[in-house]
Amino acid sequence: MTETRSVCVYCGSSFGNKEKYAAHAEKLGKLFHQLGWKLVYGGGTTGLMGKIASATMGPNLDGKVLGVIPDALVAKERDSSEQDINDKLKESVDNHKGSTPISSAYGETAVVPDMHTRKRLMANESNAFVAMPGGYGTLEEVLECITWSQLGIHANPVVLYNIDGFFDNLLKHIEHSIEEGFISKKNGEIVQVAYTAEEVVEKIANYVVPEGRFNLKWTDEGAHSSNS
């Protein structure tokens, strides 16, 4: 169907208030497993992160998954089971204290010293980027990824998986910035939008690098452009 991809997915370590978020994460993971695509994600086993990772691994645990997580976010003491943690997160995001357990059932995990190392490794391991619903971290990561494309650090697909209109306000902000002259219309095309798991795959497979991006020569960030 399409060439093999290594897809970085940014998403929440909580489930959110709608069951459809987890359902879409599971469906996308199953599609990755079916296609033989590799998932790169933020590590851990909770929330949407855990849901897409376990689905990508598949029932026989033969999928391709790399989780990248800073040491500070790894739950060192497991006072509760992973199921207990996920049950609590389903009740309220306020129960989530930031740390998460890790498990080989969710793929390979790379524990790194800090957030900067995490983001760099995730980017270097990927040739496409997808954002699903999430909080501050998800928004920060995908916006940086979009900026990297604008600056010519990479030329890989960037897709917002806009489940139930979750990213509508962000898309309005981008459109407003274009209207106000802060983002060029061509650079607005860096961001692709999908509403189903199948459309995410289609947007990645058929991505066309927009013209008009900055043609800069990077040295320190050069590893990212090698995936373009």
Residue 208 has pLDDT above 80, yes or no: yes
226 confidence band (pLDDT: 50, 70, 90) = very low
HEC sequence for the chain: CCCCCEEEEECCCCCCCCHHHHHHHHHHHHHHHHHCCEEEECCCCCHHHHHHHHHHHCCCCCCEEEEEEEHHHECCCCCCCHHHHHHHHHHCHHHCCCCECCCHHHCEEEEECCHHHHHHHHHHCCCEEEECCCCHHHHHHHHHHHHHHHCCCCCCCEEEECHHHCCHHHHHHHHHHHHCCCCCCCHHHHEEEECCHHHHHHHHHCCCCCCCCCCCCCCCCHHHHCCC
Does domain 6-225 match CATH 3.90.1150.10?
no
| Domain spans in the chain, listed from the N-terminal domain onward | 6-225
What is the arithmetic mean of pLDDT over 160-184? 98
Q: Which of residues 117 and 81 earns the better pLDDT score?
A: 117
What is the arithmetic mean of pLDDT over 34-61? 95
